[in-house]
Copies of this chain bind each other. A is one copy, B any other.
């Protein structure tokens, strides 16, 4: 017995029927797709600072499903004259790309009826600090390249499993931002 994508049951912890219903709802009312995410950050001391994340706007309203702040410290390590109270800011970019691709794989697999057993990944980012240290004009400030390596297993042939990663990448918000860039404005208010 085969199912069409619209009638697939929940799989991989994904509520597939609700996922398809959500797609239909947005198709009928594209305004629902407009989201705004937010973070707030406060300097602690030296390179140590802390962000909180909670509220966002989406699906036509302020979201209230997250009832507590998520809180994240960032810092530079000792070798960069920080105190190591958290990862460096650039390491959070590596988390973001792995997390985005992995969430997408789970959704795509559920939509395609592929049961996943394991999805794990490692991410490496190479950066030459001559840029941010102001010691070379020839070296960019950011990563020179990021490599994501996935290990995936599930009830499908290798080419189908690879196709899940391909489709997730093709629809990944973080992959798009990191590879194509995005306009970032910075405003300053002083007391």
Binding site for B on A (CB under 8 A): 12-15, 18-19, 22-23, 26-27, 30, 33-49, 51, 53, 56, 58-59, 63, 65-66, 70, 72, 74-84, 86-107, 116-136, 139-153, 158, 161-162, 165, 169, 171-191
Contact of A190 among B136, B152, B173 (CB under 8 A): B152
Determine the residue in chain B with the shortest Cβ distance to A103: B47
Specify the main secondary structure of chain A where it touches its partner.
Answer: mixed
Determine the residue in chain B with the shortest Cβ distance to A191: B153
Given contacts A123-B38, A165-B186, contact A132 B173 (CB under 8 A): yes
Question: CA of A130 to CA of B129 in the docked complex: distance in angstroms?
Answer: 37
Can you list 24 A-B pairs with a CB-CB distance of less than 8 A?
A33-B128, A36-B125, A37-B125, A38-B123, A41-B121, A41-B123, A49-B119, A63-B79, A65-B78, A65-B79, A89-B100, A97-B184, A101-B186, A118-B191, A132-B171, A141-B173, A143-B182, A145-B184, A145-B185, A146-B185, A148-B185, A175-B186, A178-B182, A178-B184
Determine the residue in chain B with the shortest Cβ distance to A65: B78
Determine the residue in chain B with the shortest Cβ distance to A157: B190
Given contacts A103-B76, A106-B47, A141-B176, contact A37 B182 (CB under 8 A): no
Determine how close the nearest CB of chain B comes to the CB of A42; give it in whole angstroms. 5
Chain B residues within 8 Å of A139, by CB: 33
7 residue pairs, one from A and one from B, having the closest CB atoms:
A13-B45, A13-B46, A142-B176, A41-B98, A74-B99, A89-B100, A142-B177
